[in-house]
Structure 1
Amino acid sequence: MSDNGELPGWTHVYSGKVRDLYVPSKLLEDDDSWTGDPMHLSPVVLVVASDRVSAYDTVLEPAIPGKGAMLTRLTHWWFDQLPDVPNHLAYHLDDRLEKLELPDVPAVVADRATLCRTLDMFPIECVVRGYLTGGGWKEYQQTGAIGGIALPAGLSNGDRLPEPLYTPAWKAPLGQHDENVSYERTVELVGEVVASQLRELSIEIFERAAAIAEGRGLILADTKFEFGADRTLGIVTLADEVLTSDSSRYWDAAAYATGATPELRMASFDKQIVRDWLAANWDQHVSEMPPTLPHEIVAQTAARYRELLERLTASA
């Protein structure tokens, strides 16, 4: 699934739906005793964000031009806004990083690559919802709750929730669908202490990010985080992409305030355009393969990603 092939000095070890992972080739060459996952051997990993786009747990065609670079830049910007939240950027290795004699990051991927520490990732997708929308809205219509958490009656699509909700999911292996789970299930998966830390950190980061977005005329409707354990210190560490157009829903605050129909007032700066088009044009019961995205959907999505990046980072 990698769209990069091998990079000089780096060995490709894994591809997810939208990211490709590499470790230094020298580490593998110098240690011929390793078996299994090479990420357990390497203290660092090069994460390369591709231009691939996914929806409904499916990688779509064609890719969104410039997406990988935009999401990488936005993630790095958010890390800068959250300096007290431990993250996986490799410069936290300090002098240990110099001793590794790492290869250079190839220029061909430099604008969409992040050098990270390898973490022991928790199998939890930490979803925080500030507004009632998307899958949460569908679940509320059916049950009056989200993730088993009861909500007031009479809410409408797009309404602000009384308080941010933490609705975690289990991270399924590649090719399988993630599964919404209860908080109690996360305790079973990672233990009570870590489960509590994941919930508290997720809500805290969401609230801080929502306030920053609000100052730029944006609403952070919902987002998802991923965390891992630092292999040296053991602390819970923020990883992967953070508060990007792919992992979050952002709305235009001025449009939202008009009180128009949800479709108009929730002007999205994310891949909702792709989701909506796919929902209207793909019956998964009829065809396993999704249709090709039309040019105008690709162009609109790229433009919305770009506008979000510019609005968030312009005044920083």
Structure 2
Amino acid sequence: MSGFVEKPQPIEVPGLVHLHTGKVRDLYRNEAGDLVMVASDRISAYDWVLPTEIPDKGRVLTQLSLWWFDQLRDLVPHHVIGTEVPEGAPADWAGRTLVCKSLDMVPVECVARGYLTGSGLVEYNASRTVCGLALPEGLVDGSELPGPIFTPATKAEVGEHDENVSYEEVARQVGAETAAQLRQATLGVYSRARDIARDRGIVLADTKFEFGFEGGALVLADEVLTPDSSRFWPADQWQPGRTQPSYDKQFVRDWLTSAASGWDRGSEQPPPALPQEVVEATRAKYVEAYERLTGLGWS
């Protein structure tokens, strides 16, 4: 059992139709038929959306995505039309709202990996493969791969795990031409972002993208290259063979699995509220990632 500890009620705004409440984002459609995506301060871990929010998290994700969309615009078009807050919406939506094109979304999580960790490491240890792709012997947690690889996954509902699948399975589901487009775009965007992050002292270990089609053209959608969708590691602390320090919700995961939380991950009980020190440390990591990547101060 997993999902929301306390599922929020959608905010009603004149002229907007609520479509979906996700782990972090609430999705609406406006009267023009465009999508309005609002990033909340919710945080998830171990397939649970926790009852405690991380202040400014939604704004960080939105502003960082906008910065990355600008860095990548020559590689692939994106779905953002504007950032204006709809009339009648809460003032808190400022800085966390994207008005986006409505796309024909591809039902695949497009994952690029440049380093071995997470579910890829688990599969590698069992079979020396990741998503069916053979890898060299001798790799450990945090090893840089010979080159970036495309390791797609199925897109899961809230509370469920994404499931890694082979490239052949993606081609079977969406067609060979679309699968080839997804792989090329994913690896191209990852490579550009990896180089930008590296110049700023950050290792982009892996990341996931979502794409849709508009008039036959592939378009980058959702969030992009944030601490929620990517593993960012400080380059000066990268050391293969161990778990790497990261710019994400690791403080949350560590506390939930510690004795201090009193939570049994294997039970069906929802996790408890986070203590203030974990909230503050997690917020600081998100802000640090934004500032180091963009070179801009957070305010």
Tell me, yes or no, whether TM beats 0.5: yes
Q: Which residue number in structure 2 is paired with residue 38 of structure 1? A: none
TM-score w.r.t. length of structure 1: 0.83
Distance of 1:143 and 1:302 partners within structure 2 = 37
Task: From the two aligned structures, give the one with the greater helix fraction.
Answer: 1
Match of 2:249 among 253, 267, 271: 271
1:6 has 2:12 as partner = yes
Greater shift in the superposed pair: 70-79 or 168-177: 168-177
Q: CA RMSD in A?
A: 2.1
Contact map agreement 2:42 2:50 (CA 8 A) in 1: yes
- Which structure 1 residue ranges, 5 or more long, are not aligned? 28-41, 92-101
Secondary structure of 1:64 counterpart: coil
Contact map agreement 1:2 1:20 (CA 8 A) in 2: no
Secondary structure of 1:165 counterpart: strand
Distance of 1:279 and 1:212 partners within structure 2 = 33
Distance of 1:224 and 1:276 partners within structure 2 = 23
Q: Which residue number in structure 2 is paired with residue 43 of structure 1? A: 33
Give the deviation of 1:280 after TM superposition. 4.6
Superposed counterparts of 1:82-97, under 5 Å? 82-84=72-74, 85-90=76-81
Summarize deviations over 1:20-63 as a string: whole Å, max 9, x none: 01122xx3xxxxxxxxxxxxxx6301100011111233211211
Distance of 1:103 and 1:193 partners within structure 2 = 41
Summarize deviations over 1:201-247 as a string: whole Å, max 9, x none: 000000000000011111101100001111xx221110000000100
Give the deviation of 1:254 after TM superposition. 1.2
Distance of 2:275 and 2:130 partners within structure 1 = 33
Summarize deviations over 1:81-138 as a string: whole Å, max 9, x none: 01221110125xxxxxxxxxx7576532021000001111111001111111122122
Give the deviation of 1:175 after TM superposition. 4.2
Q: Which residue number in structure 2 is paired with residue 243 of structure 1? A: 225
Contact map agreement 2:68 2:225 (CA 8 A) in 1: yes
Match of 2:284 among 289, 303, 308: 303
1:207 has 2:201 as partner = no
> Which structure has more RCO (C-alpha within 8 Å, separation ≥ 6)?
2
Aligned length: 284
Contact map agreement 2:143 2:240 (CA 8 A) in 1: no
Contact map agreement 1:14 1:22 (CA 8 A) in 2: yes
Give the deviation of 1:176 after TM superposition. 3.2
Distance 1:218 1:287, change over 3 A: same
Q: Which residue number in structure 1 is paired with residue 110 of structure 2? A: 126
Contact map agreement 2:257 2:265 (CA 8 A) in 1: no
1:254 has 2:254 as partner = no
Give the deviation of 1:2 after TM superposition. 4.2
Contact map agreement 1:10 1:103 (CA 8 A) in 2: no
The alignment-based identity, stated in percent, is 51
Summarize deviations over 1:147-170 as a string: whole Å, max 9, x none: 111211111111101111111111
Distance of 2:288 and 2:118 partners within structure 1 = 22
In the alignment, residue 6 of structure 1 is paired with which amino acid? E
1:217 has 2:197 as partner = no
Superposed counterparts of 1:2-151, under 5 Å? 2=8, 5-24=11-30, 27=31, 43-84=33-74, 85-90=76-81, 103=87, 106-151=90-135
Give the deviation of 1:273 after TM superposition. 2.7
Distance of 1:165 and 1:181 partners within structure 2 = 13
In the alignment, residue 253 of structure 1 is paired with which amino acid? A
TM-score w.r.t. length of structure 2: 0.88
Contact map agreement 1:227 1:237 (CA 8 A) in 2: yes
Computing the radius of gyration from Cα coordinates, the structure with the larger value is: 1
Match of 2:178 among 187, 194, 208: 194
- Which structure 2 residue ranges, 5 or more long, are not aligned? 1-6
Contact map agreement 2:142 2:240 (CA 8 A) in 1: no
